[in-house]
Each structure stands twice: as structure tokens, then as C-alpha cells.
Amino acid sequence: MQTQPSSFPLLDRWVAQQRQHLAGYAPVEKKGRVMAVSGILLECSLPQARIGDLCWVARQNDSQMMAEVVGFSPDNTFLSALGALDGIAQGAAVTPLYQPHCIQVSERLLGSVLDGFGRALEDGGESAFVEPGQPTGRTQPVLGDAPPPTSRPRISQPLPTGLRAVDGLLTIGQGQRVGIFAGAGCGKTTLLAELARNTPCDAIVFGLIGERGRELREFLDHELDDELRSRTVLVCSTSDRSSMERARAAFTATAIAEAYRAEGRQVLLIIDSLTRFARAQREIGLALGEPQGRGGLPPSVYTLLPRLVERAGQTEDGAITALYSVLIEQDSMNDPVADEVRSLIDGHIVLARRLAEQGHYPAIDVLASLSRTMSNVVDTDHTRNAGGVRRLMAAYKQVEMLIRLGEYQPGHDELTDSAVNAHSAIAQFLRQPMREPMPYGVIQQQLAGVSRYAP
């Protein structure tokens, strides 16, 4: 027997909200106490608490601070504060809310600047954070699950970026997850901003994690124009914020992108950087007593990285194309975080310091970079032309030292001779000034012209 649709949808929605509100009502209020402060964690007596539940912790000045349950011991519960620990005394009351961290996303959120938990950073700005106990509309859990693998369509459409090096040789698809690996000072943030400006999408979500406070203002004023700002949500947790907020900022940004994807939009998610996310989670894990693993990272880092990355991608509703920056120490791709992230994503773009020092922008090391979905989104001619240019670049790299020493003798190998002749044309193709994007079709034509050098 099918239920007839109601003639009063607003009334039905209100009734459902009230039922949900009453379901969390308890005639006896349960409270705990702060027993100790252990580093960045609160050690409390809080029976029947659940991982992920939010709690109110009373301060001495009659205000309250919010915290989240992150672990247990046989006797106590560990909370991580969503703010500063100032004013928290031993024996302070802890009230469990039995609700997880949720956000509410709407059209009004576009253009907002939020902290790592989704609260507005600007006076009078729109907030995504859902205050526990307040009835709201549809909410989005911040620590949600990834879409089922069987519900992910095949990535089949290219996503133009306006950059010749990317669109020509490292073509990105809609819904792809790409890592940008670079050392400090190689132009990583500048490249991310350029990709955001040039990429056609309905909404952009930035997650800036562990950045300097000065850089946030510069990023807003210099990198984002009014048109781009109007379709952007910026989630920022600077380096002075708590490790809990810095780690949560990546999940908050991802949850906002998921909400827009569920509305059928094409979303560009940019997280800068996963390395600082891993460092923040390392602080939390070590405070909870986790053992150190490879690279000094606790197991929770390797658990949360795939949970975060797998939530991006394409679904039947829309797509989240994700760009994750990764800082590499001493320009080595063997960094533990870089190695782990590279195994989880669909492609990687490596920025070379030697190119940045030569004024080569963007400083992309094409031979060290790869797009795993490129063959799915480009035609046969594009694949052949890109392969020809790669062969020329690889051949030139083998004899580059001989050329610098004046020891190279032409006439011994046709491919090497062609690579030497094509070197200037390839370098000119890969260089591109900022804020000068090129149409996707023009890039394909120029790539075909450069590939003619290949035998």
C-alpha cells in the first residue's frame, strides 16, 4: 500500500524536525568532570560517551567551550577542544550532547570565509557550523563516508585548466583527484590559485591548513577577484590554531564540497596542504598515546588520509575534482606523507626547484608527473602527440649533461637529434605567464605542432 503525498509539506517537515528534537531529549541530564589536562587533550570522567560526540565544557567565567570525544582509556574519556583551553579548571562540568560535528550548506555560504569547524571568520559572515540542540534543516556530517565504489561513474570528460603543461601533457578529468608535490618556495600555492581561476566549475572550496595568518589576507586580496570570490568558500585554519582545528579543516572543506556535489554541481576542492593536515593529526595521535610508525607518524594518520581522499570524486549527482598539495622535504618524493598520498590519488604533478630557480613558470617537472585518467578523457591524436613530446623530453634529459659540457656529437641517434632540435620549442610550450590562460583547443593545436619533431 503506497502512502499518498501530503498536502502540507511544510507542516510535515516541521513535525519531522520536532520529532528529531524530542528524540534527543532525556529527563535526566548526564554530566562529567574534567579530571586533568594532558597536553592538548582534556581527560574527563564521562560515562557512555561516543567517539565523535560534541560536549560543552564549562569555563570559570561562566562561558562554555565545545570539545569532541576523540578517545578513551579504561577509566576516562579524552576530549579535544574546539577552541583555546584558557579558563578550564580541574573539576569543570562536561555536558555530552550526543551529536556529531555537522554543517549546513546553502547558496548563501558562497563567498564566505570559515574557520576549521565551519564558523564564520568575518563579522556578520555566513556560518556553516550547526550548533548542537538547535533544530535546523538538512545537515551534512563533517566526518561522513565516501560514496560506494559501485556508484562512481567512469571519469570520461576533460577538465580544462588553461595551462599548456597540464592540459597538453597531464590532462585532468572531471572528478579526478590530483596531488601537487613541491618543496617550499616552488610556487605551489600560486599554481593552485591559477588553476582555481582558470578551471570552469560551479563552486570552489579552498581548505587552507596551517598557513601563516598574513598569507590569508594576501590570498583573498591578490588571488581571488570578485567573480571568483562569489563562487568560493574558504575554510582556513592558520598555523596558530589548535591541532584539532587544523586536522578538522580538511574534513570541513570536503563536507562542504560534498553538499554542493549532491546538488548536481561541478565542484573544485583545493586542500593546501595534506602535509600540514598529517602533522596536525600526528599531534593528536601522539597525545592519545599512539605508537609512532613510519616517518614518526602514528597509525591514525594513515587511517584518515584515505578516508579524506576517497570522499572526493565523481558520483551520479555531480563531481568533486580535488587538488591536494603535498610538501616534500629536501625535494624528495620518498617523504612518508608524499609516498602515501601518491598511492591514494589519480595523478600527481611535481614542481621542480631547479625550474623555479630558472624562472620557469609553472615549474612542472613533466617527466616526474602523471595523470592516470588522461587516456580516458583525451582522443587518440592527443595521446599520440603527448607521448611524442614526452619521448623527446626524456631523450634530451639523457644527453643534457653532454650538451652542457660540449661533448654531444649529433648524427648517432635520430631521436636524440630530434630532441635537441625540439628543446627550445618544448620549453616555450611549457612556459606560461600567470593570468594568461589558453583555450583547450588551441593547446591541442600547439601540442601537435611541437610533437612533429618526434621521429
Q: Are residues 197 and 251 in the same domain?
A: yes
pLDDT tens digits for 227-260? 888 899 999 999 889 899 999 999 999 999 999 9
Q: Are residues 226 and 90 in the same domain?
A: no
**Which pLDDT band holds residue 143 (cuts at 50, 70, 90)?**
very high
The enclosing domain of 184 has a CATH number of 3.40.50.12240
CB distance 352 to 368 below 8 Å:
yes
16 has a pLDDT exceeding 80:
no
Give the DSSP letter of residue 310. T
Q: Does residue 9 belong to any structural domain of this protein?
A: no
User: Grid coordinates in use for 48?
Assistant: 557512555
Report whether pLDDT(173) > 70: yes
Question: Three cell numbers at 395?
Answer: 631523450
Average pLDDT for 104-130: 90
Looking at the domain assignment, is residue 434 inside a domain? yes
Pick the closest to residue 322 from 177, 111, 193 (CA basis): 177
User: Rounded to whole angstroms, how far apart are CA atoms 280 and 246?
Assistant: 6
Which whole number is the average pLDDT over 167-182? 96
The kind and range of the H/E element at 17 are: helix 9-23
- The verdict on residue 14 lying in a domain is no
In-domain check, residue 21:
no
Show the domain range for 410. 380-451
Is 17 among the domain residues? no
Shared domain for 73 and 111, answered yes or no, is no
Q: 60 pLDDT band (50/70/90 cuts)? A: confident
Tell me: do 203 and 233 sit in the same domain: yes
User: What percent of the chain is modeled with pLDDT above 70?
Assistant: 95
Q: What is the pLDDT of residue 1?
A: 44
Q: In total, how many domains does the chain have? A: 3
Judged against a pLDDT cut of 90, whether residue 214 lies above it is answered with no
What is the residue whose three cell numbers read 583551553?
85
Name the helix (H) or strand (E) containing 425.
helix 414-430
Residue 124: inside a domain: yes
Mean pLDDT along residues 280-290 = 91
Identify the DSSP state of 110: T
Better pLDDT: 442 or 214:
442
DSSP symbols for 185-228: TSSHHHHHHHHHHHS--SEEEEEEES--HHHHHHIIIII--HHH
CATH code for the domain in which residue 80 is found: 2.40.10.170
Query: How confident is the model at residue 135, as a pLDDT?
Result: 57
Judge if 268 and 332 occupy the same domain. yes
Q: Are residues 117 and 58 in the same domain?
A: no
Verify that 154 and 285 share a domain, yes or no: yes
The CATH number of whichever domain residue 418 belongs to comes to 1.20.1270.330
Q: Cell numbers 557512555 label which residue?
A: 48
* Residue 143, domain member (yes or no): yes
* Residues 295-315, mean pLDDT to the nearest whole number: 93
Confirm whether 284 is domain-assigned. Answer: yes
Across residues 404-418, what is the average pLDDT?
A: 85
- Residue 25: what pLDDT? 58
pTM of the model: 0.89
Confidence at 26, pLDDT banded by 50, 70, 90? low
pLDDT at 82: 84
Tell me what the mean pLDDT of segment 134-160 comes to.
Answer: 87
